[in-house]
Homo-oligomer: A and B are copies of this chain.
Amino acid sequence: ASHVHKKLTGLVAATFTPLTTEGEINPSVIGPYIDYLIDKQGVRNVFVNGTTGEGISLSVDERKRLAAEWCEKGKGKLEQVIVHVGCMCLRESQDLARHAAEVGADGIAVVSPSVFKPSDTGVLREFLKEVAAAAPDLPFYYYHIPALTGVNFLARDVLEGIEECIPSFRGLKFSGSDLMDFGQCVQYCPPHWSLLYGMDEQLLAALAMGANGAVGSTFNYLGNKVNGLLSAFEKGDLNQARTLQFQVQEVLSFAVKLGFDVAVNKKLMSEVSGLALGPPRLPLRPCPQKRATSIAQKLQQVL
């Protein structure tokens, strides 16, 4: 991971967290995982300990060990390792932010707390600022995912004046379907920020609105396909971009019909990659083998 901060663009894989069959974290898989992402999927940025990584189901200590491993093993291989340090507890987020800086992360990201919800964007910015201040040299990203958090502020309103408040602010992961809000963020953001879209199934729409890249779980196994989508879009070949987007949609629609959560997604990745990612942690229920196999077959058809 580089220490010259460059703008985060292109695809960022939201990584799964490898667990042993006993449910302990299994950092030994991370090295091979990085090689897989680079060699097989053409993906060189990762978003660690986020939703896909079951970050919220991990203890603070586990999150630190995972972040350290991703940074160490990614050195010289990955372009950027972004560590998600969002917690319900501010003190723990600060602790994780400091640690991310120590282990050489390229940036940190924070989601809004969601059990107690901030009552307005001002108090949310205060929360984010307190976390960012614990790692002031690391690029800071806000992770906007209202369907998960129930925090329904417009992202654009959260961004208002945010760089004065958080000097290290560098962009957001926007995992929402309100593209007026997203468009307003695009219009507002200065060139050194990154606007990364987080709903892989409709990435093309966000590119049309001006997204700089994307953070998502499907790039773990559909990275090449979506890199093709990005290239087609950049070349102005909208028909080709649409064809590729529809292929992604075909897989995901199929998965959604069968039942698709982080547990199923993780099992699918194990099937496709051969990496031993292990089971999810409770309260997620392990994915039935049959379901993962069906989705993997659908994926192979489309690739």
Size band of the interface chain A makes with B: 35 or more
Most buried by B among A56, A95, A241, A249: A249
| Interface residues as binary, A122-133 with B (CB distance below 8 Å gives 1, 0 otherwise) | 111011001000
By secondary structure, the A interface counts as helix
Residues of B within 8 A of A106 (CB): none
Shortest Cβ distance from A58 into B: residue: B89
This protein's copies in its complex: 4
| A31 shortest CB reach to chain B, Å | 24
- B179–A205 contact, CB under 8 A? yes
- What are 24 inter-chain pairs, A to B, with CB distance below 8 A? A56-B89, A59-B92, A88-B88, A90-B281, A115-B148, A116-B283, A117-B283, A118-B283, A118-B285, A123-B283, A123-B285, A126-B283, A127-B283, A156-B253, A179-B201, A179-B202, A180-B249, A183-B246, A183-B249, A184-B250, A187-B250, A204-B209, A205-B209, A210-B242
Additional A-B contact list (11), CB under 8 Å, known A183-B201, A184-B250, A208-B208 = A56-B88, A56-B89, A58-B89, A59-B89, A90-B282, A112-B283, A114-B114, A116-B284, A179-B205, A180-B249, A207-B208
